[in-house]
Amino acid sequence: MIRVLFAIIGGILLGGVVHLVSVLALPRIATQDAYSRLTALTTLNTVTPLPLADPSHSPMPFMDPAFAVAVCRYDLSSGSIKLTVPVSQAYTSVSFYTRRDVAYYAINDRSAGRKVIELDLMTEAQHAQLPEEEDVTAADRLIIDSPSTTGLIVLKALAAEPGMMAQAQGSLAASKCRVQTEPPAVKPSAKR
Amino acid sequence: MRLIFITLLALIIATAVGLGATWITATRGTDLGTLTIGPWTARPRTGTADVDPYSRATIARSGELPIGTGDGIAFSATTDDSKRPLDGRCDVIVSGVTPAARFWTITLYDRKGHLVANSLQRYGFTSEEIVRNSDGSFELHVASRARAGNWLPTGGIERYALMLRLYDTPVGVATRTQRDAPMPSIATAGCS
C-alpha cells in the first residue's frame, strides 16, 4: 500500500516536470501557430496582403476587422531587409515577430514621425558588421535588430470607417520589403 | 511484477497531471502579468520580448499574433461587471469612456476568436464610428435584435467575448488601476 502511495506522490512530482517541459516546448512544436498559418499564405521577403477577417474564413483568430493587414515573412540569411511603408490617413503600424511569434518590436506612424515609415531590419551579426560611419547616421535611419533569422513583419492600416478600407489597403499595397543583397560595406557610397 | 506496475502507475499519473496542467493553462491562460480592470483583462507583457512562457504557450496554441506594445494593447472581457458570462441572447450594454488612445476598436468574437456572422456585416466599432453622448461617453448595445443607436449584433450565440483594443496609447506595462485607465462598464440588461 505504501508503495502505491509513493507511486502517486512520485507521479505528481514527475507530472510537474512534464508540465514545465511541455509548456516550454509548446511554442516549438505547435503546428498551427501564426507563423505556420501565414507560411502558406505569404511569399518570402515580399509584402503579401492578407484577406480581410470575416466570420467564415480568417487567417488567424482575434484579428481586428477594422484593419487592413499585410505580412512580410522575412529570412535575413541572404542579407538585411529594407522596409518602406507609406503612412495611411488614419493610423499605420508595423510590428515585428520572431519565428516563435514573440512581438519584439512595434512602431506606429506617429513615433516614426514621417509620411513614410522606413527601417532596416538585420540580425545582430549583420548590425555589428556595419561600418562605423554608417552607424553615425543611424539617427535618420532606423535599424532594428532581429533576434531570429526568420520571422514576420506585420503591417497594419486602420480603416476608421468601412468606406476607408480600400484606401488603407492601397497604402499597404504601396509598401515594400526588400532584401539588400549587396554587402553592407559598399552601401554608404551607393546610398549617398 | 509489482515494481513494474508501480512504475507504470507513476508514469501514467505524471503524464496525465503534466499534460493536463499544460492543456488547462494553454487554453484558459494564467494570471501571470495580467492587468484586470473591472471585467476587462489585458496582458501587457505579451507584446514585448519578455513575454512569460505560459502566454507564449497560449499564443502558440491559439495561432494569434499578440499586439505589440509600440502598437497598442488589447483588453478582453468574457463576463459583465457582475461576473455573469456574456450571453448573445441577452441585451448587454457597454457604456462609459475609454482610456486615452489615438484610436480604439471594440470587436465581438466567439470564444475561439472568430468573428460572428450577421447580415449587417458589423463585427465591431471603431472610435471614429461610434455615436457619442454630448459629454463624450458612449453607449453600445450588444444584442441579437436591432437596437437604436450603437448596435453590435451577437448573432444569438450563447457565449462571446468582447475585445477593446487601444492603439497608440500610454496604457501598458506601467498601468495598474482604473484611475490610470478608465474602462467602460458592461451590464446585462435583460434576456429574451
**Contacts with A43 (C-beta within 8 Å, 6 or more apart), sequence order:** A73
**What is residue B1's predicted lDDT score, i.e. its pLDDT?**
78
The pTM assigned to this predicted structure is 0.87
More confident residue, B70 or B30: B70
Lowest-pLDDT choice from A130-139, B1-10, B164-173: A130-139
Query: Do the beta carbons of residue A30 and residue A99 sit within 8 Å?
Result: no
pLDDT of residue B69 exceeding 60, the answer is yes
Distance from CA of A190 to the nearest CA of B (A): 32
A19·B165 Cβ contact <8 A: no
pLDDT tens by residue, B95-140 = 999 999 999 999 999 988 999 998 888 999 999 999 999 998 999 9
Q: Which chain A residues contact residue B166 at CB under 8 A? A: none
Residue of A141, A86, A131, A80 whose CA lies nearest to A109:
A86
What are the DSSP E strand ranges found in B43-133? 72-77, 90-96, 103-110, 124-126
Distance from CA of B140 to the nearest CA of A (A): 17
Query: Do the beta carbons of residue B167 and residue A93 sit within 8 Å?
Result: yes
A104·B49 Cβ contact <8 A: yes
Q: Which chain A residues contact residue B114 at CB under 8 A? A: 55, 58, 61
**What is residue A133's predicted lDDT score, i.e. its pLDDT?**
63
Q: State the burial class of residue B156 (Cβ atoms within 10 Å of its Cβ: 0-12, 13-18, 19+).
A: middle
A8·B13 Cβ contact <8 A: yes
Average pLDDT over residues B9-36: 87
The sheet that has B138-143: what strands, in order across it? B150-153, B138-143, B90-96, B185-191
A10·B10 Cβ contact <8 A: yes
Q: What is the ipTM of this complex?
A: 0.87
* A61 in reach of chain B (CB within 8 A): yes
Distance from CA of A191 to the nearest CA of B (A): 29
More confident residue, B56 or B32: B56
pLDDT in tens, chain A (192 residues): 788 888 889 899 999 999 999 999 988 888 888 999 999 889 999 999 999 888 888 889 999 999 999 999 999 998 899 999 998 888 999 999 999 999 999 998 887 777 888 889 999 888 888 776 655 555 567 889 999 999 999 999 999 888 889 999 999 999 999 998 765 544 444 444
**Closest chain A residue to B107, measured at CA:** A64
* A145 in reach of chain B (CB within 8 A): no
Q: How far apart are the C-alpha atoms of B88 and B74, rounded to whole Å?
A: 21
**Contacts with B48 (C-beta within 8 Å, 6 or more apart), sequence order:** A103, A104, B68, B69, B173
B interface test, pick of A3, A42, A62, A97 with most B CB neighbours within 10 Å: A62
Q: Which chain A residues contact residue B113 at CB under 8 A? A: 60-62
**What is residue B185's predicted lDDT score, i.e. its pLDDT?**
94
B interface test, pick of A2, A26, A39, A87 with most B CB neighbours within 10 Å: A26
**What is residue A191's predicted lDDT score, i.e. its pLDDT?**
43
Distance from CA of A97 to the nearest CA of B (A): 8
**What is residue A135's predicted lDDT score, i.e. its pLDDT?**
56
Look up residue A84 and give its three cell numbers. Answer: 518602406
Backbone angles phi, psi at B163, to 5 degrees: -125, 125
Average pLDDT over residues B149-156: 91
A17·B113 Cβ contact <8 A: no
Mean pLDDT for all residues in chain B: 90
* Residue among B9, B69, B102 whose CB faces A91 most closely: B102
Q: Which chain A residues contact residue B63 at CB under 8 A? A: 30, 32-34, 36-37, 60-61
Distance from CA of B157 to the nearest CA of A (A): 13
B54·A23 Cβ contact <8 A: yes
